[in-house]
Amino acid sequence: MGLQERAAAPVRTESFRANRPDLVGPEVPQKPFPIHLSGAVQRGFGRGGKDLGCPTANLPDESITPMSSVTETGVYYGYAQVSREKDGQVILPEEDGKVLPMVMSLGWNPYYKNEKMTAEIHIMHGFKADFYGHSMKAIVLGYIRPELDYTSRGEFFEQMQRLRQAS
């Protein structure tokens, strides 16, 4: 699937919630994983942190091609690391530069009706400062679930909280 195509979310949340699986998976990554992504963190829509209390780091479009070309839209898990340096200066504290667990949404965000595919990475860490422009590396280890088309903002928030707890 190319970055310019917009596909409908395959699952409405009513049907998915009724038969929600437990989060399980293989003990080791299976093809096509692991997938390595990297790029400079760019500004997104500003919804993750402001609307959901779940800030995300967004990678440039060209950075997500290795993943979008071999997987489907959905939510994935893995690890990410933000470089402490920017423009040759150490800016972030040591704890912000560690390899940290993450969840990532790859898709169109049907609830918000995005016009292009995005990769939004939520790193499980309480960053105290923004890190736009910093280099970030991520390794995606597996798939959690398909991209969902939420019926309400509350349902969207609830699902985000579940993902954070499960990851």
Give the global pTM.
Answer: 0.75
| 39-43, 75-79, 124-128, 158-162, range with the lowest pLDDT | 158-162
Catalytic annotation, residues:
120
- Domain parsing of the chain, residue ranges: 30-166
Q: Evaluate whether 78 touches 34 at the Cβ level (below 8 Å).
A: yes
Q: Give every CB contact of residue 167 below 8 A, 6+ residues apart in sequence.
A: 77, 101, 102, 103, 124, 144
More confident residue, 105 or 81: 81
Tokens of 4: 């310019």
More confident residue, 47 or 37: 37
Residue 96: is its pLDDT beyond 60?
A: yes
pLDDT band of 92, cuts 50, 70, 90: very high
Residue 142: is its pLDDT beyond 70?
A: yes
Domain 30-166: assigned CATH number: 2.40.30.30
Give the distance between the most distant pair of CA atoms in the chain: 51
Residue 56: is its pLDDT beyond 90?
A: no
CA-nearest of 150, 158, 53 to 111 is 150
pLDDT tens digits for 102-119? 999 898 875 556 677 888
pLDDT band of 47, cuts 50, 70, 90: low
pLDDT at position 100: 96
In terms of C-beta distances under 8 Å and separation of at least 24 residues, what long-range contacts does 15-20 make, across chains too?
16/145, 16/146, 16/148
Q: What is the dihedral of CA 153, 22, 29, 95, to 10 degrees?
A: 60
Q: Evaluate whether 38 touches 44 at the Cβ level (below 8 Å).
A: no
Average pLDDT for the chain: 79
135 burial type by CB count under 10 A (0-12 exposed, 13-18 middle, 19+ buried):
middle
